[in-house]
Structure 1
């Protein structure tokens, strides 16, 4: 089921399917900022990545010597959440473990996605609760796709991404199957700007792990509309669009990443995996702000 939430500046819709954001509309201009899920390019809007990000080798991973199987980005984005609560300015959905989930992910958990409006901003919070009798293991991340170009009369070449700090940073080198190698390529040298073009994603996703910035903004050289994502203390940031081209850009704050191409160990030893003690909760959030 689709639910809506709005204030004087912004209107959103979100679904119980995947607990996923479906729309972000600026009310001053009626502009849609979130990708519409057209399957010609990509059928999602802003999926939640849990309990893995990217892919595990052969779609399989190991917990205490037992092999489990999960699709790319895990189980949350294709699961049905329940409406947990709705107020004047926020809405929350919850996914809890089930007999089916325990077959592919052997931990008892609660995952809550909350969307809260404030002026021209939307804050997205993910909360993971350990309902098990032992530590649970997971990664979690966001995968929102934003319209780019924002205006139909523009092209991707009119746009750029701007960090809030000048960066000297490298990116991971992925394999063709989008696993990680142990190599990195220099990418930014005392620069805050990434120019966008059809070649930006020719090698697939850009993955950063050593940024000073905590905010990135999609900007046009021709108009004042923009959208920023403040990603706080997420240790990894992915930036992606289909290498074949599409009218959107994904800005993805992550706790965790895909497997290294040579990783075959236990899930607990995978880089970026969080271990959460019983009866504890983990929270992370990012904020989307539109300027019109």
Structure 2
């Protein structure tokens, strides 16, 4: 089921399927900033990645002395959530553990997604609570896709991404044949803060940063003054992605955790970037989208 929230400037729609944000529209000009979900390219809009981000090796992982299987980005993006709170300004979805989820993820949890309207944007809040009688381990992240180009007559290469700080950051090297990280890094920024978008950037899949000084990034273009900014304060990883074969969107992905290294064969609790919660403990994270 879909739910619509709007104020004077912004209209959003959200869905119980995946707890996903499906639309982000500016009301004065009726422009859609979020990707349409056209299956020709990619069927999602802004999926939640939980309890893994990216891929585990051969879709299998070890936890609690057993082996389990999870598809890329985990289980949450294809599950039905329940609406537990709603008013004119915000909506909260919840996904609870079940006997079904325990077959592929051996921990009892509550996952809540809250979308709150801002004056010119939306705040996206994650809450994970440990409902088990032992520690639980997980990763979590966002995968919102934004229209790029935004308007007719533009092209992907008219757009660029700009960080709020000058960066000297490397990117995590991906093995293009497997989609797993090699454990090495590649030079990317040298006291710069701008990425001019082109498909060659994504020939090895996503660009993933782990040591940025910046806490926000803005999607801009050379043809008009429309901008979308993400404040991802607190997230240790940030990925940029589009389909390397070409697609009219770009994803900006704040992550807690990442795909496996290609030689990792350890337990989930030993995975780099993994989050841990004690009994009844809660984890929260938040990112915000602003439209100018």
Measure the CA separation in 1 of the matches of 2:135 and 2:70: 20
Runs of 4+ in 1 over 3 A off after TM superposition: none
Measure the CA separation in 2 of the matches of 1:106 and 1:64: 7
Cα deviation, 1:113-141, whole Å, max 9, x if unaligned, reads: 00001100200000001111111100000
Partner of 1:33: 33
Partner of 1:134: 134
What is the TM-score normalised by the length of structure 1? Answer: 0.99
Q: Displacement of 1:65 after TM fit?
A: 2.0
Cα deviation, 1:75-111, whole Å, max 9, x if unaligned, reads: 0000010011111110010000001000000100000
Measure the CA separation in 1 of the matches of 2:221 and 2:63: 46
Q: Displacement of 1:243 after TM fit?
A: 0.5
Measure the CA separation in 1 of the matches of 2:83 and 2:134: 27
Q: How many residues are aligned here? A: 291
Within a 5 Å distance, the mapping from 1:82-101 to structure 2 comes to 82-101=82-101
Partner of 1:174: 174
Partner of 1:248: 249
For the 8 Å contact 2:64–2:106, the answer to whether it is kept is no
Measure the CA separation in 2 of the matches of 1:216 and 1:55: 25
Query: Is 2:111 the counterpart of 1:115?
Result: no
Measure the CA separation in 2 of the matches of 1:79 and 1:64: 24
Q: Displacement of 1:219 after TM fit?
A: 0.2
Partner of 1:289: 290
What is the TM-score normalised by the length of structure 2? Answer: 0.99
Q: Displacement of 1:234 after TM fit?
A: 0.2
Partner of 2:268: 267
Measure the CA separation in 1 of the matches of 2:56 and 2:201: 25
Measure the CA separation in 2 of the matches of 1:11 and 1:177: 39
Partner of 2:238: 237
RMSD (Å), alpha carbons? 0.7
